[in-house]
A and B are shown apart, each in its own frame.
Chain A
């Protein structure tokens, strides 16, 4: 379970261009299920996801993960938690050009020091599961948008994380590919992983696979409904 208590995030605090991105949000996210954060651009969706995933720290407030404080952890502990607990999928895929699909998928597992053979097997298994087995040796710059996003999803799963954070994962995909990605995320949620994603696409937050929709506006929660 992830719990946010009075979480605020202000960028450029005290400067003329001060920007409060998240304003005093308190929220409990139960384990498992697919939760979508929706809202217009600038509503704080991405910032909130980066705070939950430990990629940024709140200006004030606390975030706990399974009852243990997360947001105030010293960097080395936060890195460990990030590596083991969270898998990230980004709007722009953020795959490393020049590396193969297989190498991209394996990359987040290198700091954990797993056996190379076991790691290659795990990565190939994930690629097969997402229909990318034949592309393992291809360079990522040769992939289509849908293939790139599925590679990013496979990469997010390589460390077997309990929480998947996906920031607008369907924004660069057409309807059919968006549906595929959403299906994959729904399957992960059904396996008791917590999937948190942001989207302003109605096809996403109106999907039957979504368990909860939280709407943000100007950094505040304006609606929170279970589906």
Chain B
């Protein structure tokens, strides 16, 4: 196992997030069974006090969870020079069977944590704890994932053996392979580009309509997730080729390298933030009829939708700029 400050930080984050989520889960379980806002019982009064403390602690823990995704990817990228065969984060994540599962769990938890934090923000604006059951229900759903992430990440870091010869991104993101990554890499550029921009137009249309008609929430949430998936696919299928100016290099992680101006961070940060905002806006809009939130939700949802559209706009704008400025020609 390698021990670096970043690995220690990631393990500490995983430990504190898991610990906090587990502690909060036991309170959440009691809360879901016994919460009764109309009652003045001792149990209810105690739950009301505890929810305030627990929400505050979870705010810090889940905020750290958001940052841990960035730190994890950055760490994987920075360790690439220490493993034979690794050219970028792909090789480091490929060292054992737990690298990519850790990354996937971190991505899922990133969106769930962002959703929880935004639900909590809205709940705090209602005087009668309007979303308390929703957010603690979500917390219970997140708890097993947080534990799993901590276990898988620990297994991954424990299995980082410097003598292992790993495979580079060229083999995983090759159009000739049989993995999902290879499938994406084998897409031809024209339909992929069409789908990429069609998705942007569709989401923009849904987003503008959603700002006016809040009942379109589920559609906007689904649209944001779909756009995220299409964007990742597009990065692998053609955007990476334009950046590297190489028709066979499909790696989505090499974009994070200094040699490419760290352009990956500029692409991924708005993309992830926009998806989290879009997903949360769609979910939060569902609670617009709760009496204590009627005056709050329209403003919050419009703000989040604006943020999501701005984030996607930034991503698409940068992607388009990279395509236009590239010396590679994929289309006739």
CB < 8 Å neighbour of B45 from A5, A72, A76 = A72
A60 — nearest CB in chain B belongs to which residue? B42
Q: Give the Cβ gap from A10 to chain B, nearest Cβ, in Å.
A: 9
Is B48's CB within 8 Å of the partner chain A? yes
Interface: A69 (CB within 8 A): yes
Interface of A is mostly: mixed
> Per-position contact with A for B6-23: 1 when CB-CB < 8 Å, else 0?
000000000000000000
A74 contact from B41, B45, B127, Cβ within 8 A: B127
Digitize A35-73: 1 where CB-to-B-CB distance is under 8 Å, 0 elsewhere.
000000000000000000000011111100000010111
* Distance A75 CA – B127 CA, assembled complex (angstroms): 9
Chain A contacts for B124, CB-based, 8 A: 74, 76
A6-B40 CB under 8 A given contacts A69-B128, A76-B124 = yes
- In the complex, whether B49 has a CB less than 8 A from a CB of chain A is yes
Roughly how many angstroms separate A126 CA and B142 CA in the complex, as a whole number?
Answer: 56
Given known A-B contacts A74-B52, A74-B124, A75-B52, A60 and B41 have beta carbons under 8 A apart: yes
Question: In the complex, what's the smallest C-beta–C-beta distance from A4 to chain B, in angstroms?
Answer: 10
Say yes or no: is A142 at the interface (Cβ < 8 Å to chain B). no
Q: Which residues of A contact B37 (CB under 8 A)?
A: 69, 72
A69-B128, A74-B129 given; A58·B52 CB < 8 A: no
Given contacts A74-B129, A77-B127, contact A60 B40 (CB under 8 A): yes
Which residues of A sit under 8 angstroms from B41, Cβ to Cβ?
60
Contacting pair A59 B45 (CB below 8 A): yes
Cα A58 to Cα B37 in complex, Å, equals 15
Question: Which chain A residue has the least Cβ–Cβ distance from B129?
Answer: A74
Q: How many residues of B contact A (CB 8 A)?
A: 13
- Say yes or no: A62 contacts B40, CB within 8 Å: yes
- B52, A61: Cβ atoms under 8 Å? no
Chain A: CB-nearest residue to B43: A60
Within the complex, the shortest CB–CB distance from A60 to chain B, in Å, comes to 4
CB-CB under 8 A from B48, the residues of chain A are: 72
The CB with the most chain A CB atoms within 10 A, among B37, B42, B49, is that of: B42
Central interface residue in A71, A72, A77, by most chain B CB within 10 Å: A72
In the assembly, what is the distance between CA of A74 and CA of B41, in Å? Answer: 17
Interface residues of B in 34-55 (CB under 8 A from A): 37, 40-42, 44-45, 48-49, 52
Does B45 contact A57, Cβ atoms closer than 8 Å?
A: yes
B49→A57 contact, CB < 8 A: yes
Q: Kindly supply a per-residue 1/0 record for chain A positions 190-217, scoring 1 wherever the CB is within 8 Å of any chain B CB and 0 otherwise.
A: 0000000000000000000000000000
Bound-state Cα–Cα, A71 to B124, Å: 16
In whole Å, how far is A173's beta carbon from the nearest beta carbon of chain B? 37
What is the minimal beta-carbon distance from A41 to any residue of chain B, in angstroms?
Answer: 27
Nearest Cβ on chain A to B124's Cβ, whole angstroms: 7
Are B45 and A60 touching (Cβ within 8 A)? yes
Residues of B within 8 A of A76 (CB): 124
CA distance A72 to B50 in the complex (A): 12
Contact mask for chain B residues 129-160; partner A; CB cutoff 8 A; 1 contact, 0 none? 10000000000000000000000000000000
Question: Are the C-beta atoms of A59 and B42 separated by less than 8 Å?
Answer: yes
Closest-CB distance, B217 to chain A (whole angstroms): 25
Tell me whether A58 and B45 are in contact in the complex, defined as CB-CB below 8 angstroms, given that A5-B40, A75-B52 are known contacts: yes
Query: Which chain B residue lies CB-closest to A5?
Result: B40
Please report B residues at the A interface, Cβ cutoff 8 Å.
Answer: 37, 40-42, 44-45, 48-49, 52, 124, 127-129
The 10 closest A-B pairs by CB, nearest first: A62-B40, A60-B42, A77-B127, A61-B40, A72-B48, A60-B45, A73-B127, A60-B40, A60-B41, A59-B42
Given contacts A60-B42, A61-B40, could you give 4 more A-B pairs where the C-beta distance is less than 8 Å?
A57-B45, A72-B37, A72-B44, A77-B127
Task: Please list 5 pairs of residues, one from A and one from B, whose beta carbons are closer than 8 Å in the complex, sorted by A's number.
Answer: A60-B40, A61-B45, A71-B40, A72-B45, A74-B129
